[in-house]
Amino acid sequence: METSEQDDQEDLLAELEAELERDAGVNLRPVTEGEVSVNKWAQGDPAKAMGIADSLGERRARALKKFALVQAVYDAKLAVLNTWLADYEQRAGKEVAWIDGLLDLYQQDFHPDERTTRLPSVTLQRRTQGNVREWVDEDKALRYQQQVAPEDVTRTLSKSALLKRLSPPEGDAPFAPAVGYYVDKDTGEVVDFVRDLPPEAAESFTVKPVKEEGE
């Protein structure tokens, strides 16, 4: 009899807990063996589960705050490193430019007839610089291209297509205003929206390290 009453009380308690869970909107799923979850830590107790979940939320906030602090330290150190690197790069660049200048003079003094001078550690090369093309007025060039070759252009200038129509004047053409200007090969018209300018330096000088075996 006592056992029957005890069973009835346990059933009533279970029914009451289930009713409280339904009223609170809690629908506990079965916890699998070995599972790591708030449900298992709280042993199915909604109040305990809420406290655990809230503590997890605080832990999450602490983790993000810690990361933000680490990110700030990293950014600060990176800014210092970038400044140091930029300064070092500038000083190294000045040293390399100074050395290149000395090697340039060396080639001129001791190998004046050579375009390429090979040393054990570096190769010195001297190249004649070509003209630099300058588009003086791209809007004017676009209007010209739209007029003479509309099939080559839509809303933007097609430089490669337009250059196929143009060529430098042959010989000392009296109609060419200056050296470096282009003439339309089909119409003979001299255009002034593009021209070739002489380079700032007549020659370029470069120094290339010699690769060692195995590199």
Same-domain status, 126 and 95: no
pLDDT by residue for the chain (215 residues), tens only, comes to 456 666 666 666 666 666 655 655 556 666 677 778 888 888 888 888 888 888 888 888 888 889 999 999 999 999 999 999 999 999 999 999 999 999 999 999 999 999 999 999 999 999 888 888 888 888 888 888 888 888 887 677 888 888 888 887 665 544 445 567 888 888 888 888 888 887 888 788 777 776 766 65
User: What are the angstrom distances between the C-alpha of 73 and each of 82, 156, 168?
Assistant: 14, 47, 60
- Paired with 195 in beta bridges are 134, 181
In terms of DSSP bridges, do strands 181-184 and 116-118 run parallel, antiparallel, or are they unpaired?
A: unpaired
30 occurs within a structural domain: no
Same-domain status, 45 and 132: no
Domain range holding 102? Answer: 38-112
pLDDT score, position 176 = 47
Task: Write down which residue in 112, 137, 164 finishes a domain.
Answer: 112
Using DSSP, how many helices (H) and how many strands (E) does the chain show? 5, 7
Same-domain status, 205 and 118: yes
Same-domain status, 107 and 120: no
